[in-house]
Chains A and B, each alone.
Chain A
Amino acid sequence: MLESSFAVDHVSVSFGPKTKRVLALTDVTLSLVPGELTLIMGPSGSGKTTLLSLLGCLLTPDRGSVFVGDIEVTRLSEAARMRLRSSIGFIFQSFRLFHSLPAIENVLLSAEIRGNRRRQTEAARSLLDRVGLASKGHLKPDALSGGEKQRVAICRALLSNPSLILADEPTASLDFDSGQIIRQLLRSASRDQQRTVVVVSHDSRWKSFADRVVILEDGRIVSDSRSLGCEESSFSYHPVEA
């Protein structure tokens, strides 16, 4: 039995028609610990995004189980998985902000979905303040830089006070400085707020912020290693023992 808060247990996922089935993940097992930032790396098509989708309750595996705490997600109805998703923080490469809404409304969207928007207004303002966007809450995404958009997206993810944050290439569209701010924010979310953070990225600069690095290839975990735990520390991979 898996002991961590979030885990996938011997999961396999395939896509496409029966005659041309493509295996995206094969017998993958991974458990995630609160307070840890896990970096998932690997070449394109290695199954990183599929693994993230499984953890985010957006996909169900062909085989194996996905756990959120004691709940086995694969046994839940679509409605129950939707409810579960509202307590997971998502951060996307393309930000996925709503262009017709000001930054503060974008942050409040997750509260709106959960039906507690009124109680969260102050919290949303405070989050924007924490990421240095207090004066830009009224601006629509088109008036914000890439880094600012991603910070708004992080605020949206954090507003639901999630124990799991899933970030897909969160710094891919950003310059170095903006990327560095995002890396520090997510690092703080895991270290200081004891959240489980999973980042999928090709960017090796994430390694120094990660507590753990998982490398996928052809739908299998080929490496799962822990860093020394600080940004400045030297970092090396330790392949998983068979």
Chain B
Amino acid sequence: MDFDRIKEKLNILADAAKYDVSCSSSGSKRKNTTKGLGDSSGMGICHSYTQDGRCVSLLKILLTNYCIFDCAYCVTRKSNDIKRAAFKVQEVVDLTISFYRRNYIEGLFLSSGIFKSPDHTMERLIQVAKKLRKEENFNGYIHLKSIPGASDELMREAGLYADRLSVNIEIPTKSGLKLLAPDKKHEDFMKPMKKVKDEIIQYKQESKLIKSTPKYAPAGQSTQMIVGATGESDRDIMYSSAFFYKNYNMKRVYYSGYVPISTDPRLPAIGSQVPMLRENRLYQTDWLMRFYGFDIRELLNDDFQHLDMEIDPKLSWALRNRHLFPLDINMADKQLLLRVPGIGLKSTNKIIQARKYRKLNWQHLQKIGIAINRAKYFITCDSREKELKDLTSEQLKQVIIKNSQSKFRKELSPQLSLF
């Protein structure tokens, strides 16, 4: 192995791949049954964290950063003057195996610039995955990018070797896409996504009848949207997200605050701040939608198009729906408990378990670990102490903000000083 050459390629092609947020390695059911290498049947593992606090779970690289497209938001766009490089198929295979054996990674995340044609590119990605599975007997995690415009045939093959497939929609609105990526068509993104979804459904049905049916993308599909590049509203973003969850059975939609990388006048200037707080609020909304039983229309709608940056979306929703509270913690249904600000999934389960044995009071709730400073305004329990409830929602919001600490306090301060 020519280490210096590989090192240089790794530098260029890891740098170019880092704007892809997904690094998940969970949800696959690929067991090591043949005494081979690797097992991805358990939960995902983060083997390290970058200085920006993101999990490093997979070896995330591009096969090449040569690209025939010129999408304004992308670092590898054709017109960008950067160093270009390309890995050979075998080089990626060797690197993945050597890293995996040393317990650095859970597997491979392979994406690519589009060289020659979408099909040509997709074919190479598949070659890497196929080699890993067939020649190296590798059962670790493989995440492949579905290249927009790739043929159905290739997408069907890709799913046989990959655990997850993803195609990044990047721009949440059609008009934004037209503006920033005029060479790409909306349909090119949707076609591979639809093919993969259909195959997953078909393979699942078959495996019910025939147990030996091979696995097809067992960890499902995901996609990613850039936030803050085209002036879209939070409602626009979350409605497209809900659309993908519902119609394409997405496992995950990722939101990526736009990191300025271009002087293109269509985009935020270099040096403008990455909208990390907004990104965080969008993820919170995403979680409420997926795990807390919220319909997206309750959280964002025509009257309420942007999320409140000062407080989390659940608290914001609760303040708009005061008539539903207070809830009796010892009686309320699980679905309602989940809607109380300051009570999460785990606390909900603990409350439900613990209240079978005795009525819970504030001390119990504190020990269970709920965020009393927010929850106390929305619940009653087995105790005479009650919180003042004759505050308006706006007053209550200010009280809660004053009595809580936010890691985003610094970013919020210019807005807070208005009050």
The answer to whether A binds B is no
* A residues adjacent to B (C-beta < 8 A): none
* B residues adjacent to A (C-beta < 8 A): none
